[in-house]
């Protein structure tokens, strides 16, 4: 995946690429997704990340949401977004 990303974004910094791919694969492996994000979605997401000039820290979860910033590019299905919102809610409840 790194090689594919480098073709499209040759100047992407290693730190942002590593964090983005980590979040992408974590999200992709979540059970219950109707449509797992693919190469096309990660490229769209990275384009947005770079346009917004986000830092690697901006992509990490803050404890309030399991969804990464600009997640609309990764999750195209409303059911998948709802799944992650429910998981985030349950996670917050368990931490209390």
Are 21 and 50 spatial neighbours (Cβ–Cβ below 8 Å)?
no
Note the pLDDT of residue 20: 94
Note the pLDDT of residue 92: 67
| Total-model pTM | 0.81
Note the pLDDT of residue 62: 52
Reported confidence tier of residue 95, pLDDT bands at 50, 70, 90: low
Q: C-alpha distances in angstroms, 65 versus 11, 12, 39, 47, 55?
A: 29, 25, 23, 22, 17
Note the pLDDT of residue 32: 85
pLDDT in tens, 50-93: 999 999 988 876 555 567 788 888 888 888 888 877 777 676 67
Task: Give rounded-to-5 percent helix, strand, coil for the chain.
Answer: 60, 0, 40
**Residue ranges covered by each domain of the chain:** 2-95
Could you tell me the two tokens for 96?
């209390």
pLDDT in tens, 9-56: 999 999 999 999 999 998 888 888 888 999 999 999 999 999 999 999
């Amino acid at each position: 995946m790194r090689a594919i990303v480098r073709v499209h974004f040759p100047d992407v910094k290693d730190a942002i690429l590593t964090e983005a791919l980590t979040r992408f694969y974590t999200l992709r492996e979540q059970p219950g997704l109707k449509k797992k994000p693919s190469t096309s979605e990660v490229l769209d997401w990275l384009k947005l990340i770079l346009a917004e000039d986000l830092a690697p820290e901006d992509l990490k979860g803050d404890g309030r949401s399991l969804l990464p910033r600009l997640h609309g590019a990764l999750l195209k299905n409303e059911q998948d977004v709802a799944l992650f919102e429910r998981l985030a809610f349950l996670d917050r409840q368990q931490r209390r």
